[in-house]
Structure 1
Amino acid sequence: MAVVLAVIVASVLVLLFMGLMIALLVWVLMAFAVVGAVVLAAIAGGMLAGALGAEGPAVALGAMAGAGAAMLGLRTAWRRREARKLATGGIIEGRARMLEPEPEVEEPAGFPQVGAAWEQALRLAPGRRAELRRARTACARLLVLAQTTHHDDLPLVTVQVPALVAQYDALIADAGSRAEARDLAARMVDLLAGIGDRAAGIVEQERAGRMEALMVRELHVARRLGRNDRGRAGL
């Protein structure tokens, strides 16, 4: 038993050592690649200066300019890579939040009839409270979004939700049996859940558009920063 345990421990240590060596090798190769790119750019700058008739210190300045341009280019590329990582991380976190239970959101002021309709729907179909609350939250988010952005599907929430609940309420009250009342309530919930799904899709589409616009702005700022760096370097 002790021999087996020793073999397992030794194997784990060997694997850890190999992983460390591989990571170190990758970093060394990356460092060589960066240094090589800067050296090649310096040589190219010096050769270009020489081809233009420069001599002595002017050739050295050309080499320095080439090296500086390479370093600025690598720096800008690194910044863009980090910006994309941050943006991608925001998208992934957003999708992860979609998988988590969303906190309930109430309708903003100005839509009392919508809130009253959802409360009545909960009373008519208490057994499907979770579905109704999810749909209500999605519709409330759309109402909040509509305060700053117009959407053609907004009447699905502001008009159709109160109208549907009122009509189903009247039919359920006049139902000839409990089975008929349950069937009507189920149909009502299915329609309201569909409206909630539509509202959630609109909100997510709007959020994706804002994220895309942010990525475009980040890249624009990164380009401006790169140009400013080159301007300060006198390139």
Structure 2
Amino acid sequence: MRLLAVDFDYFFPLPQDPGHPEAFLYAWAHFETPYYREAAWEERALAFLLRGLPLPQAQGWEGFWERFTFAPGARLYYADSNALAFHPQVREGVEEVVLYDAHHDAGYRPLGEEPACDDWMVHYARQGARLRVFYPPWRDPALEPEPQVPLAREVDPGGRVEGPFHRVFLCRSGAWVPPWADAAFFAFLAAASLPKVPLEPVAPRAWDLEGLRRRVAEEALGLWIMDALRRSP
């Protein structure tokens, strides 16, 4: 049984060079809590808009599913958190996991008893599954710590992928991917021609872009002063 796991943050590129002039705008903390899935994104968006920069968008998801072959009866399970990639309905009988993700999810800290979004691959390793992760072309794998279990890692070369896959898991990763990318996520979900099973409620998040634009007009002067102070010796 082969599982194809896809984290939508694969399609949300971030600057990899700390010297990139906009890298500080992406210096985001990430925790899977309601605040980081929702409220935190307002201030993050405001940082771009106040500087006259477009909001970063999900890219490259169109046509992704066409790269794969799916076995008869395959289903797509989806959730917001990648921790649910080890849900009982997903993990049963899985002997190989092929992950497309900006992170290897094979342990970054002391492991808990229950799977979390950053260590669920370890739990697959414990049940004897073979593991492979493909990073997006924009991601530098050298920026990740070594996984805590054997895991083949490489940058996605593109093109058709050998199959078939018997099961698919997709997560939105709302603490990593902003609400203004939700329309792209749901279009990506709809584009998969497989029966779909939600493992937790996943709905478009509330998002008031016009309200943020009104705040931009009110706060532009303050930002100019802060930026001037930050650049001064």
What is the TM-score of this pair, normalised by structure 1?
0.22
Q: Which has the higher helix share?
A: 1
- Using the size of structure 2 for normalisation, the TM-score is 0.22
Q: Which has the higher strand share?
A: 2
Bigger Cα Rg: 1
